[in-house]
Each structure stands twice: as structure tokens, then as C-alpha cells.
């Protein structure tokens, strides 16, 4: 590496000392430059995180020096990457009594160590928001995670995670909106609810289904209600017709008396 640095300084000095244009290198100088070996990036994969601190894998291969270097001499390395530190707001809905873990760093913490970052949490209770003025400090027992076990309805709100590196530079800000529902009010088990709707016997455990999706008692009650409503409507129509007939008779009698 020291030899390479000396050659770079020499080339820079030759460029500055040339009066109008660079002089062509001699064959010996070109051969000596070709003998200098270094590593170049041949492939670079996308960052593992679309926001916040992530990891990027790169392939390095040697170049220069020995021309017969095979591809097996290449090596892989993992470096940190950061496209944007703002991760926006994400929400999730769960029921009370369950265990909820909000992870801030995920794979980055495992790759770089727990003490490579400074993590702080803030909480806005009862609302889903990204307004920073509504947040207050939240003490998390773990450095990079908030563990709610068991989850309570009072835990609903928005959790904000801020991550700083050792240089006090912000590398991530994440908002997690948590909605907590009471298990007595609603069930989030879609598969179980689908089974109930597909099997009528589960909706009416005290009745026996014989090919009819509704129990006989419900069908009988529906028929009685339909007949009662129809009879009431018919009686109302007859009453209106009778009243109209009486009014017509009175007007006819009055007209006859006036003509006499």
C-alpha cells in the first residue's frame, strides 16, 4: 500500500510539472503500474432496509499484479448503508392480553453489536400520530425493543424510536401505531370466524340442521311475522278505502240537497 501511495504522489507531481500536457509513460513505468495490486468492487447488492440503517453486501475482487487471479480469490463484505433515516408511520391492531414486541434495529443490532447505537423511545398515548410535540419520553427496559407482555388497552398509542450512531448522527426514526382491542368486543381470528359462517350449526348450537341453513323455529317466526305484516297492511288499505267511500257519500248527499 505504501508503494501504491508513492506512485500516486509521483504521478500527481509529474502532472503538475508538465508544461502543457502530460508526458507519455515509458514501458517500464507502465509495467510497474500493472504490478500494483488492489481490490475493486465488482458487485454491490441493494441495501437491506428501505429506510433507516441497513446492511449492504459487496463483492471485492483483486486486480493488478498477477493477471492469473481466479474468481475464487474474491471475497464478500458487509457494510452499513442508509438511504433515508425517516421510516414514516406504521400501524398494527392486536387484542389485549397478547405479547407485543416493537423492534427498532432488527438485524442491524445483531450484526454490529448492541452498544454501537444509542436508542431512545417516546410515546403518545391513545392516539395515532406523527406530531413530535405530542410525544413524551418512554422508558424501555430493553435497549432496542419495547416488550408489552401482557398487552393492555392503556398501551394503545404511537411509539417513536430514534437511533443515533456513536457519532451522534441520527440513522433512524420509526413510528409504530398500536391499536389495542378488547377480546370481548371483537375477535381477530379470521379462520375461526370463517368456520362459524360456513357451518350454520356453530351459530345455533341448540338446533339440528337437516339441510336447511336456518332452524325451523326461525322459519316459523319469519312466516308469522310476514303474515301479520301483510294482514295489517291489508286492513289499513281497507280502512282507507272505507273512509274515502264515506266521504264520497257525504259530498254526494250535500250536492243533492243543494240542487233541491
Which CATH number belongs to the domain containing residue 116 in this structure?
A: 2.60.40.10
Choose the most confident range, by mean pLDDT, from 15-19, 20-24, 95-99, 249-253: 95-99
Name the pLDDT band for 92 (thresholds 50, 70, 90).
Answer: very high
Is residue 38 within 8 A of residue 7, CB to CB? The reply is: no
Is residue 62 within 8 A of residue 77, CB to CB? The reply is: no
Does residue 99 sit in the same domain as residue 70?
no
Does residue 129 sit in the same domain as residue 78?
no
3-state secondary structure of 110: helix
Q: Is residue 202 part of a domain?
A: no
Sorted by sequence, the CB contacts under 8 Å of residue 127 that are 6+ apart come out as: 134, 157, 158
pLDDT tens digits, 95-136: 899 999 998 887 776 677 767 888 999 999 999 999 999 999
Does residue 173 sit in the same domain as residue 107?
yes
Say how far apart CA 25 and CA 143 lie, in whole Å. Answer: 58
Q: Within the chain, what is the greatest distance between any pair of CA atoms?
A: 144
Q: Is residue 215 part of a domain?
A: no
Closest CA to 79 of 36, 44, 27: 44
Q: Is residue 123 part of a domain?
A: yes
How many domains does the chain fold into? 2
Does residue 125 sit in the same domain as residue 41?
no
pLDDT tens digits, 152-189: 999 999 999 999 988 888 989 999 999 998 877 666 56
Please give the C-alpha separations between residue 215 and each of 197, 210, 226, in angstroms, as whole numbers.
15, 9, 17
Q: Percent of the chain at pLDDT above 70? A: 72
Is residue 47 within 8 A of residue 30, CB to CB? The reply is: no
Q: What residues make up the domain containing 109?
A: 86-181
Say how far apart CA 94 and CA 99 lie, in whole Å. Answer: 9
Does residue 50 sit in the same domain as residue 102?
no
Does residue 175 sit in the same domain as residue 95?
yes
Q: What is the pTM of this model?
A: 0.54
Last residue of a domain, one of 161, 181, 201: 181
Q: Percent of the chain at pLDDT above 90? A: 23
Is residue 80 within 8 A of residue 24, CB to CB? The reply is: no
Amino acid at each position: 500500500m505504501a508503494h501504491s501511495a508513492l506512485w500516486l504522489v509521483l504521478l500527481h507531481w509529474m502532472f503538475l510539472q508538465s508544461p502543457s500536457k502530460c508526458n507519455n509513460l515509458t514501458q517500464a513505468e507502465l509495467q510497474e503500474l500493472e504490478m500494483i495490486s488492489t481490490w475493486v468492487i465488482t458487485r454491490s447488492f441493494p441495501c437491506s432496509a428501505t429506510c433507516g440503517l441497513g446492511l449492504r453486501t459487496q463483492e471485492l475482487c483483486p486486480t493488478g499484479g498477477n493477471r492469473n487471479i481466479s474468481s475464487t480469490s474474491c471475497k464478500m463484505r458487509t457494510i452499513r448503508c442508509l438511504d433515508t433515516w425517516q421510516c414514516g408511520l406504521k400501524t398494527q391492531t392486536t387484542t389485549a392480553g397478547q405479547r407485543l414486541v416493537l423492534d427498532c434495529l432488527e438485524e442491524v443490532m445483531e450484526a454490529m453489536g448492541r452498544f454501537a447505537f444509542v436508542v431512545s423511545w417516546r410515546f403518545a398515548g391513545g392516539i395515532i400520530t406523527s406530531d413530535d410535540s405530542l410525544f413524551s419520553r418512554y422508558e424501555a427496559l430493553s435497549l432496542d425493543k419495547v416488550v408489552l407482555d401482557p398487552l393492555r388497552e392503556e398501551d394503545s398509542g404511537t411509539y417513536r424510536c430514534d437511533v443515533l450512531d456513536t457519532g451522534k448522527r441520527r440513522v433512524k426514526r420509526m413510528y409504530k401505531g398500536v391499536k389495542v382491542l378488547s377480546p370481548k368486543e371483537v375477535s381477530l381470528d379470521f379462520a375461526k370466524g370463517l368456520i362459524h359462517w360456513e357451518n350454520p350449526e356453530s351459530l345455533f348450537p341448540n338446533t339440528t340442521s337437516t339441510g336447511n341453513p336456518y332452524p325451523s323455529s326461525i322459519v316459523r317466526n319469519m312466516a308469522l311475522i310476514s303474515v301479520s305484516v301483510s294482514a295489517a297492511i291489508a286492513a289499513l288499505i281497507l280502512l282507507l278505502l272505507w273512509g274515502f267511500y264515506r266521504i264520497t257519500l257525504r259530498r254526494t248527499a250535500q250536492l243533492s240537497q243543494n240542487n233541491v
